[in-house]
Copies of this chain bind each other. A is one copy, B any other.
């Protein structure tokens, strides 16, 4: 296999040259001072935990490794600025696959104008990609802790597709919208920036609505009431999984947002004008925890969250 330095230049060749004082190749990248607060996140994709090489192309893996980090920036309302990528590669990892990782990652990086400024290569038994990404916020960042009683609860896009896509992949199905949502999640970066003008809190739905809404309620010390019938479901999820399954979700990478009641209509209008699909699914109140009610007002049993770790 090629040496470490050949690997690095092959990988970097797929990315535009970063416009920073010092880019990849020195001991550190050097970045200009940031005028605004910086949001920083780190997230890893590990072979046989988050993906298999049988079900994901190298491009998918490269895309998803960056996407899950961009989704964290999106949830704070941050504008992506730079990232570093630490790659752990099996010793027999093919060079053309490395180019595939880079292509998938760089296409998404270009779309969101985020610069690869540095990285690291190491050998390992299993393939993994650990990315640290940073963005800037000119407005106060959206945390999980800002929701207030009376705020409206919104979610973007549709829920449950990625989990259904995982089931499809496990069943040997390699195509379709659900599979695509599992392989190529689209971080809601533009929506996050828009939400920063309206929302009091946000987070991205990575562990499933059931679990992540719990995090939001806990951090904000509020209670949420969700209407099951309002959960936004795609055709395929409605047909094959149903709303209860969508609650468990996992890897949706949609945004969950709390919006003060007086701002709800303006928020919805701005989303409509921006082409962002959002759905009001409930409301926050005083108290703890959260419930989901069906059309008859009965509480729906809550599924566990999606935990790669468990």
A contact set with B: CB distance below 8 Å: 3-4, 7, 21-22, 25-44, 46, 48-50, 72-73, 75-76, 78, 82, 84-86, 88, 117-126, 128, 130, 132, 135, 137, 141, 143-145, 203-204, 219, 307-310
Contacts and interface: CB of A to CB of B under 8 A. Distances in A.
Given A30-B76, A33-B33, A34-B33, A84 B120 contact: no
Contacts of A203: 26-27
B75 A27 contact: yes
Contacts of A132: 42, 84, 86, 132
A-B residue pairs, 5 tightest by C-beta: A132-B132, A28-B39, A130-B130, A4-B309, A27-B72
Contact of A124 (B29, B128, B141): B128
Copies in the complex: 2
30 contacts: A3-B310, A4-B309, A25-B144, A26-B76, A26-B144, A27-B41, A27-B144, A28-B41, A28-B73, A28-B75, A28-B76, A29-B39, A30-B38, A30-B39, A33-B33, A33-B37, A40-B82, A40-B118, A41-B118, A42-B84, A42-B130, A44-B86, A44-B130, A49-B122, A50-B122, A86-B130, A86-B132, A120-B130, A123-B308, A124-B128
A5 B37 CA distance: 27
A88 B76 CA distance: 25
Given A126-B125, A141-B28, A40 B117 contact: yes
A25 B121 CA distance: 28
Nearest to A130: B130
B122 A44 contact: yes
B28 A118 contact: no
Contacts of A122: 44, 46, 49-50, 308-309
Contacts of A85: 42
A40 B33 contact: no
Given A31-B40, A33-B37, 10 more contacts: A25-B144, A28-B39, A28-B78, A30-B137, A41-B118, A42-B86, A42-B130, A44-B122, A49-B122, A50-B122
Contacts of A72: 27-28
Contact of A309 (B73, B123, B126, B130): B123
Contacts of A43: 86, 120
B28 A120 contact: no
B123 A126 contact: no
Given A4-B309, A4-B310, A44 B76 contact: no
B38 A35 contact: no
A3 B84 CA distance: 28
